[in-house]
Amino acid sequence: MIGPTGSGKTSFINIAEKLLTDKTTAITQSEGKEGTLQLEEYLPEFNFRLIDTRGYFHLDRKQFDELKNILTGKIRPGQTIVRDDDDEDLLPEQSWRTDEAPLGEQIHGVICVMEDSDPRLKQYTTRMKSIKEYLKNEGYSPVSALAFEKEEEFKNIYKRRHTVEYLSSAIGSPIDRTFPFINHLASGTDISMDPDSALNVLDILDTAVMAAEKFIRVQLQRKKTSNEREARSSELPSVVEFIKNIGRAHNWEQVRMDALVRMLHRKDIYDVSALRKYWGSIRRELTLGPRSAIERALSL
């Protein structure tokens, strides 16, 4: 779960715990102070876990990298999320992974919680652009949760729909994966007072679990495709050797050969068979000299 400090992430977890287990364990904060400092997990008795993260005040490169370290398992549950302005004397000794964790130890889904009265909500449409692109490229389907502090605001259908549209645009989650709920702990109301809000919390969990399952399938398929490509490349002449042989014959500089190889790799062409197959769409991107040399080598 990600979101600004005080947006209602921990409150959401408390509500989910109350609905599913009739008890609460997440500690909330108030008065605008930062609560969660560690990467904490909840609802371990189910076939999923909710991970509460440290809230952010500003979306900058360092906090973007922090998010990536959490998603890839470099920062693990139970560890303190360290930032530059923290008091070093109060920080525990801990070691982070330097490489990405195995898929089973990574985060598989993202729930972004925002407060309905957050004055920065409109700004997040542009400020979260890099995060949205990263999540999309990695195969994540984020789910958005909009926390209303006032029950009467939640019941205002027009305001609710209008604010949900802003949040959907900011996070990059479709309207059907963007859900409003009442932050009961902030509003001082009972969870059972509004069944629509409680149902939305359960819908958020259900949608997030389905999105996480899809993410796992995507990652497994990517791994399978990568392994198959490597297997094919080991059996067939690679474009690296192919271009190197042509370059030697024509006295090309190494930088020229490297540029050609990078261009082919960007197009997912790693062996001569693929180069021959897609040559028709590639040839126009090359200058006359390299194009003619490659065509002669391919006997085209």
Q: Is the dihedral of CA 264, 267, 271, 276 positive or negative?
A: negative
Per-residue confidence at 27, pLDDT binned at 50, 70, 90? low
Q: How many CB atoms lie within 10 A of CB 123?
A: 12
Phi, psi (deg, nearest 5) at residue 144 = -105, 140
Statement: residue 33 has pLDDT above 70:
no
Average pLDDT over residues 77-100: 73
- Lowest-confidence pick of 64-68, 77-81, 247-251: 77-81
Per-residue confidence at 86, pLDDT binned at 50, 70, 90? low
Statement: residue 32 has pLDDT above 60:
no
Dist CA 81 CA 158 (whole Å): 38
Q: Give me the residue label for tokens 């889904």.
A: 109
When the pLDDT of each residue in the chain is averaged and rounded to a whole number, the result is 85
Nearest to 117, CA basis, from 183, 40, 208 = 183
Per-residue confidence at 91, pLDDT binned at 50, 70, 90? low
Average pLDDT over residues 18-23: 89
Statement: residue 36 has pLDDT above 60:
no
Per-residue confidence at 127, pLDDT binned at 50, 70, 90? confident
Please give the pLDDT value at position 31.
44
Dist CA 175 CA 173 (whole Å): 7
Per-residue confidence at 69, pLDDT binned at 50, 70, 90? very high
Query: b/e per residue, 66-105, with b = 16+ CB within 10 A?
Result: bbebbbbbbbbbebebeeeeeeeeeeeeeeeeeeeeeeee
Q: Which residues contact 64 (CB under 8 A, 6 or more apart)?
A: 130, 131, 134
Helix axes 288-297, 239-250, angle to 10 degrees: 110
Q: pLDDT tens digits, residue range 189-235?
A: 777 568 899 999 999 999 999 999 999 999 999 888 888 777 765 66
Q: Among the CATH numbers 3.30.810, 3.40.190, 3.10.20, 3.40.50, which is that of 9-221?
A: 3.40.50
